Amino acid sequence: MEQCSSLGKTALLIAMAEGELIDTYAASARDKGFAVTYGKVGSMDIQKIIAAIETAARREGLVDERYRSQHALYHAILDALQGLGRGQIQLGNVLRTVGLRFSIVIGPRTLKDTDDLWLAVGMYGMIGAPIKGHEHEVCGLGINHL
Amino acid sequence: MEQCSSLGKTALLIAMAEGELIDTYAASARDKGFAVTYGKVGSMDIQKIIAAIETAARREGLVDERYRSQHALYHAILDALQGLGRGQIQLGNVLRTVGLRFSIVIGPRTLKDTDDLWLAVGMYGMIGAPIKGHEHEVCGLGINHL
Amino acid sequence: MEQCSSLGKTALLIAMAEGELIDTYAASARDKGFAVTYGKVGSMDIQKIIAAIETAARREGLVDERYRSQHALYHAILDALQGLGRGQIQLGNVLRTVGLRFSIVIGPRTLKDTDDLWLAVGMYGMIGAPIKGHEHEVCGLGINHL
Amino acid sequence: MEQCSSLGKTALLIAMAEGELIDTYAASARDKGFAVTYGKVGSMDIQKIIAAIETAARREGLVDERYRSQHALYHAILDALQGLGRGQIQLGNVLRTVGLRFSIVIGPRTLKDTDDLWLAVGMYGMIGAPIKGHEHEVCGLGINHL
Amino acid sequence: MEQCSSLGKTALLIAMAEGELIDTYAASARDKGFAVTYGKVGSMDIQKIIAAIETAARREGLVDERYRSQHALYHAILDALQGLGRGQIQLGNVLRTVGLRFSIVIGPRTLKDTDDLWLAVGMYGMIGAPIKGHEHEVCGLGINHL
Amino acid sequence: MEQCSSLGKTALLIAMAEGELIDTYAASARDKGFAVTYGKVGSMDIQKIIAAIETAARREGLVDERYRSQHALYHAILDALQGLGRGQIQLGNVLRTVGLRFSIVIGPRTLKDTDDLWLAVGMYGMIGAPIKGHEHEVCGLGINHL
């Protein structure tokens, strides 16, 4: 994580981290100037996943109340969900459930390229049937200009 | 990477690693019993990306000449490409180009759950317009039973 | 609107019209020989939008009780919804809501090309998060042979 | 059916058979070494269709309790549903209902090519509006390695 | 085939028939009043498949030179291709090739329901990698009002 | 056009205008403070349509050389293309051709809501088979934050 200087990889590494590493990674990213928040959500409803990420972003001040920042976040979430759903953005409707950790990171695309602000949403978790153990890993990354 | 005990995260971390870390991560994964290969490819043609990954898997013996193993690999690649393309599996047709590092990892879903073999394809890189610097990060993960 | 002689543009202009212009445009289209109806609907449910348009068409006699005319209408609606949803035909499931004005127009494709009957569905409105002001414009046009 | 020696056609012919022919076809397929089950389901919910097929497969022992066989079945079902939904895997959300007969067949891809086990899901039925007679035929076939 | 009285099943059974059965099935369907043609095509290009089916339909007089009949055929072909491609209507771009037999059948939806003309396109064949034997069965059915 | 005070409707009306009305509408929109350009393009290649719109936007100074403005434009174009392609963003691959007039408009979402800059891409034209007269109208609208 120390060498990680790009927005998307930062978001993915935080979403994939476990235990104490999550805070360590988030702190390391903040030290480099990225704004960071993260959380977890499990659901069969896509809209609950979207709502959990939007709520985390608002609560931590990563997006403000203006529509343009929420529009940027919403479409980064939808993009990340494409990696999750791989062909359709549906869960319960197609009898799937998901348990995710997510991250939202705001900053330049890379530390060398600091002229603009971008937003990344990282997702990592397990997707599968609503039967214990019948699941495999899944990830998603969405990036949008702020 | 030391603590990483799951197939998909192993594939993603290798695809996202840089420089010497790539070999280190791959060696660590092999020590745990995963079969691993990786490579890089840049193209505006989806079929070249698929071919590069299929070739790497065959050359390293991760898939054999039987159709069933190639079918498993093909659909893991397509799934990972959904994260890459976020809505359509197209590149040059929609004026996009991609530079990727990819990994193929074979093993149990997790080190605790060793009854079956699965296959993961991880992709990480840059997607964008065919103009230098007009690109952002992208990732994909596809997992299939072998 | 006076110069407008094609089916799809007629449908779009009526769906986009405001206030008295709606009736004026519809009357002008009827004078040229088009059958026209229009209405409005707001919902987070795709099926309510489909039902509102189907009901308006039946009530005004633009489709009859035979399946073939309803099949033509249904697929014109689905096509228009692709412009609305831009990638997935979902609203509430992905935490979006929509407020629409729609039109249904039946006639030849253009006034010079009167050998066959076609059907157009136009949609225009606002799509967004279920938060006041967090929305932008959206439109859709579906055309099918009758 | 006597000459039919391939997995997918076997699945389709059983799904399309009527009356006594269903049992006759299933018996003929079993004589050739295929494992076969079949059933029917009608719904506006995709998840009920998936559940009905998964339940039939488990009850008849065509898949076991291991995730890998259920993963193979799930994705064969999703593939067959693409033929059914032709563009989106949705029913009630887009005001459609379906009445289906389905089959699940396990065996080699063809009787000459017996090295591997594959799984086919066939679907055949009527799709349409929730109005009597407003429906037309639809079919789907999904094939996956076991 | 003797008992088959519906448009879509007729199209599928002809597309799935082999050897002399093809002509027998087509003759049986024509005896019942259906207009029928069929053919075969192999390609990595979706547009060649579409062109082959459109050419067969025109050559046999199943569609005339008016746009409305060609529009009906085109969308029935696209619908059938959704069953073939299962998620994207692409072949060579995603390194797939297909060998198909297809049928086009025109008539009422069923022999009891003769008020309207509909059109069915059936497809059956093998899809796979451009490597001998690395392929499995695939089918598609598209139905549209004429 | 005089009463039109919103970004998307402005873009659509300019794309749909004919003859002298195009310049009149564009001038009216510029008077209200919108930045406007427009053009036409016909092709069987999606990438040529994207390139034509990107070139027009750059030549007229509506986007600058920074990636973020080009990213906003690119995704507004893709969104508008969803209305055009209604289910897949493909043209020649599925034997379709298109003749379009397009517009790019930059400004606030509405004249009352001037805090942020947004970008709209409007498209209107004919889509069809590569046969004269075998085509119908199509439109698309994509809106993104700048």
Report domain extents, chain C.
Answer: 7-145
Phi, psi of E71 (to 5 degrees): -65, -40
Neighbours of B27 (CB within 10 A): 11
Report residue F41 as tokens: 């393009």
Q: How much is the pLDDT for E65?
A: 87
CA distance A98 to chain B (A): 15
Displacement of CA A12 from its chain's centroid (Å): 7
Give B94's contacts in chain F (Cβ within 8 Å): 46-47, 50, 78, 89
The per-residue pLDDT for range F57-99, each reduced to its tens digit, is 999 999 998 999 999 999 999 999 999 999 889 999 999 999 9
Query: In b/e form, how buried is each residue of A95-115, taking b as 16+ CB within 10 angstroms?
Result: bbbbebbbbbbbbbbbeeeee
Chain A closest-CA separation from residue B65 CA (Å) = 26
Residues within 8 A of C (CB atoms), E 68-97 only: 68, 71-72, 75
- In the predicted structure, residue D1 carries a pLDDT above the cut 80: no
Q: What pLDDT does D134 receive?
A: 95
Predicted confidence (pLDDT) per residue in B29-42, tens digit: 999 999 999 999 99
C18 to chain F: which residues are within 8 Å by CB?
3
- Residue E113 distance to chain D (closest CA, Å): 9
Cα E108 to its chain centre, rounded Å, is: 16
- Pair of tokens at residue A12: 């993915």
| Chain F residue with minimum CA distance to E44 | F93
What is the distance in angstroms between the Cα of F90 and the nearest Cα belonging to chain E? 9
Separation of alpha carbons D117 and D114, rounded Å? 8
CB < 8 Å to F93, chain B: 93
Chains in contact with C, counting 3 or more C-beta pairs less than 8 Å apart as contact: A, D, E, F
F55 touches chain B (CB under 8 A): no
Contacts of F88 (CB under 8 A, 6+ apart): B88, E88, E89, F94
Beta carbons of F122 and F12 less than 8 angstroms apart: yes
- What kind and span of H or E run contains B112? none
- Chain A residues within 8 A of F72 when measuring between CB atoms: 145
Whether F145 sits inside 8 A of A68 (CB atoms) is yes
Handedness of CA E83, E89, E94, E100 (dihedral sign): positive
Confidence of residue F115 (pLDDT cuts 50, 70, 90): confident
Share above pLDDT 70 across residues of chain B, in percent, rounded to a whole number: 100
Residue-level pLDDT at A8? 98
F115 and chain A in contact, CB less than 8 A? yes
A65 — pLDDT class (breaks 50, 70, 90): confident
Looking at the complex, does the CB of residue E16 fall below 8 Å from at least one CB of chain F? Answer: no
Q: What is the pLDDT of residue E24?
A: 96
In sequence order, the 6+-apart residues with CB closer than 8 A to the CB of F104 are F11, F36, F37, F38, F53, F56, F57, F60, F62, F73, F119, F120, F121
Please tell me the predicted confidence (pLDDT) of residue A125.
98
Mean pLDDT, rounded, of chain B = 95
**Residue A114: predicted pLDDT:** 79
Cross-chain residue pair F50–B128, CB shorter than 8 Å: no
Q: Answer whether A134 sits within 8 Å of D70, measured CB to CB.
A: yes
Nearest CA in chain D to C66: D134
Name the one residue in this structure whose structure tokens are 């809505």.
B87
Q: What are phi and psi of F44, to 5 degrees?
A: -100, 0
Interface residue A116 vs chain F (CB under 8 A) = yes
Searching chain A, which residue's CA lies closest to the CA of residue F72? A145
Report whether pLDDT(D2) > 90: no
Residue C45 scores a pLDDT above 80: yes
- The rounded distance, in Å, linking the Cα atoms of C128 and C143 is 25
In chain B, the residue whose alpha carbon lies closest to the alpha carbon of F70 is B134
Higher pLDDT, D59 or D3: D59
Contact D49, D81 (CB under 8 A): yes
The model's pTM: 0.97
Multiple choice CATH, B7-145, 1.10.3720.10, 3.40.1510.10, 3.60.20.10, 3.40.640.10: 3.40.1510.10
ipTM metric: 0.96
pLDDT at residue E71 greater than cutoff 80: yes
Q: What is the mean pLDDT of residues A115-130?
A: 95
pLDDT tier for residue B3 given thresholds of 50, 70 and 90: confident
> C43 — contact with chain D (CB < 8 Å)?
no
pLDDT at residue C120 tops 80: yes
In this complex, which of E3, E7, E137 lies closest to D141 when CB atoms are compared?
E137
What per-residue confidence (pLDDT) applies to C114?
A: 79
Pick F93's closest partner by Cβ from E47, E71, E74: E47
- Per-residue pLDDT, averaged over C91-99, amounts to 95
DSSP letter at C120 equals E
Q: What percent of chain C stands above pLDDT 70? A: 100
D61-117 pLDDT, tens digit per residue, is 999 989 999 999 999 999 999 999 998 899 999 999 999 999 999 999 999 987 799
**Chain position carrying tokens 């069965």:** E137
Helix (DSSP H) and strand (DSSP E) numbers for chain A: 4, 4
- Chain F CB contacts of B47 under 8 Å are none
DSSP A30-74: HHTT-EEEEEEEEES-HHHHHHHHHHHHHHTTSS-SSHHHHHHHH
Chain E residues whose beta carbon lies within 8 Å of the beta carbon of residue B88: 88
Q: CB distance from A23 to chain F under 8 Å?
A: no
CA–CA distance, A51 with A29 (Å, rounded to integer): 24
Select from D8, D12, D18 the Cβ nearest to the Cβ of E136.
D8
- Residues 6 or more apart whose CB falls under 8 angstroms from that of A4 comprise A10, A13, A28, A29
Bridge partners of C124, per DSSP, are C101, C139
Nearest-CB residue to B92 (from F47, F74, F89): F47
pLDDT for the residue numbered C104:
98
First to last CA, chain D: 24
